[in-house]
Amino acid sequence: MSKSAAKKIQAIRGMNDLLPSDSPRWQFFEGKVRQLMHRYGFDEIRTPIVEQTALFARSIGEVTDIVEKEMYTFDDRNGDSLTLRPEGTASCVRAAMEHGLLHNQTQRLWYQGPMFRHERPQKGRYRQFHQVGVETYGFDGPDIDAEVILLSARLWQELGLMEHVTLELNSLGSAEARAAYRDKLVAYFEQHQDVLDEDSKRRLTSNPLRILDSKNPDMAEMLNAAPQLMDHLDDESRAHFEQLKAMLDAAGIPYVVNPRLVRGLDYYCRTVFEWTTTALGSQGTVCAGGRYDGLVEQLGGKPTPAVGFAMGIERLVLLLETLNLVPADAMGGCDVYLVPMDDSATVAALMLAEQLRSALPSLRLQLHCGGGSFKSRMKKADKSAAPVAILLGEDELANQTATLKFLRDDREQQQVAQAALAETLHELLPNVSSH
RNA sequence: GUGGAUGUAGCUCAGUGGUAGAGUCCCGGAUUGUGGCUCCGGUGGUCGUGGGUUCGAUCCCCAUCAUCCACCCCA
């Protein structure tokens, strides 16, 4: 620990520690997700966080921002170019193909885990962030589009977020229709070069559809007169989109059609959607996805229709926190804090704690450790947020009892025989069951 | 990647060109076996980091790192 060697090592920029005070919120969210996926008949898939660089370049699109400047790419010791995954879909397709999951069968998969993008960090935008994603394969009708949207909607309902999010919907048409429209749009923009700002000129080659979404008021007039994607949909995509809207109407899910909604990743076609919120500043997209019918084939598999979405866990947890939607009983804590009143009761307390844990498997009991004055032991009992403290001292040891003290309500403490303690706690604490 | 704001105790923040303070937290005491309220005392800081100007820099200048905001992009 010399001064010269004192350069502090800290976490990588944009990569955060998840501290004990945060994890209950994450666990609450993750628990809801897991339960929901189970209820909808989706199976979990876990893939490595590192893949061959080519996988992402070929799926996300060579000229997207993600591939051009945001990937964590490095050479393995044998010279292979590897990349920390910037999103989950490509890995999922790769794994499904590699293990024959797409061979004459349909799949409904979900995953969860860290993703990596080298962007400038901001609230709700990090270099290591976490997504929950859903991917379905082998369904070409709008029913599966509706199904995954309904799944996401139910999650918002269960989390109490429904009135804080908006569903935006669009159709990009088939890959062919989209490409044709893209050419037409580029031609139109090239005729109006003089009105385009710098960003838009750059996007002319990278993602011309996004220019439509520009906030620059000087371009508004020109953009309004631009060819509309909706007018260039192929008939099949138009029908698909109409049916999807009818299904959402029938399910009572409100949405707004946003003809300027364009996803940044190249593989999307037909249905695209985003759930957005105004409560998080400029990082308003909380969940986004769509159809990517061409990707499996593009990666060397048989043509396979696919629909999926991903949501950002940091953003959703942040939203839950901001809106105070995590119930208090999910925020950790324990039921009972067991206090040996002085060091002579340590061993007895240890044994009593184990005995109670055996008798009451759902009991959350924290044993006081680390000594200290009796006063400080009681302070820690208070801080534990437990409703009940068990005190064990000289008198209790002498007559095989324990003192039950109620920390949260005005109620006389009571002496209970140690043999009857489990039964008493079971009666006292509604969430604790005996076995 | 571009523009801007901010970095002082574990946390929230004052403050001054002469090597730092409050609240909170933590520990102890008032109260020998009873926490929360009150009162008293105590621990805790290379003032983000590295240079420069100066007799002297936490303060002024430069660089750098980090966080936040907007843009870009996206979950």
Q: In chain A, how many H helices and how many E strands?
A: 16, 16
- The dihedral region occupied by A43, where left means phi > 0, alpha psi between -120 and 50, and beta the remainder, is beta
A2 band by pLDDT with thresholds 50, 70 and 90:
very low
**pLDDT tens by residue, A130-183:** 999 999 999 999 999 999 999 999 999 999 999 999 999 999 999 888 888 988
Percent of chain A at pLDDT exceeding 70: 98
Nearest protein residue to nucleotide B67 (CA to C1' distance) is: A122
pLDDT at A6: 46
Contacts of A2 (CB under 8 A, 6+ apart): none
pTM, two decimals, is: 0.92
Nearest CA to A87 out of A314, A312, A316 is that of A312
Separation in Å: B45 C1' and A127 CA: 31
Q: What is the mean pLDDT of chain A?
A: 91
Q: Is the CB of A260 under 7 A from strand B?
A: no
- Among chain A residues 8-67, those with CB within 7 Å of any atom of strand B: 8, 10, 12-14, 64-66
**pLDDT tens by residue, A350-360:** 999 999 999 99
User: Rounded CA gap, A267 and A307, in Å?
Assistant: 11
**pLDDT tens by residue, A288-347:** 999 999 999 999 999 999 999 999 999 999 999 988 899 888 888 899 999 999 889 999
**pLDDT tens by residue, A61-113:** 877 788 778 999 999 999 999 999 999 999 999 999 999 999 999 999 999 99
Burial per residue of A239-276, b for 16 or more beta-carbon CB atoms within 10 angstroms, e otherwise: ebbeebbebbeeeebebeebeebbbebbbbbbbbbbbb
Comparing A202 with A310, the larger pLDDT belongs to A310
ipTM: 0.87
Residues in chain A: 435
User: Rounded CA gap, A102 and A93, in Å?
Assistant: 9
**In which residue are the tokens 């139109």 written?**
A188
Q: Is the CB of A333 under 7 A from strand B?
A: no
Please say if the pLDDT value at position A434 is more than 80.
Answer: no
Nucleotides of B under 7 A from a protein CB: 1-3, 26-29, 31-36, 46, 48-49, 65-75
Separation in Å: B12 C1' and A428 CA: 38
Percent of chain A at pLDDT exceeding 90: 66
Burial per residue of A190-214, b for 16 or more beta-carbon CB atoms within 10 angstroms, e otherwise: eeeeeebeeebeebbeebbbebbeb
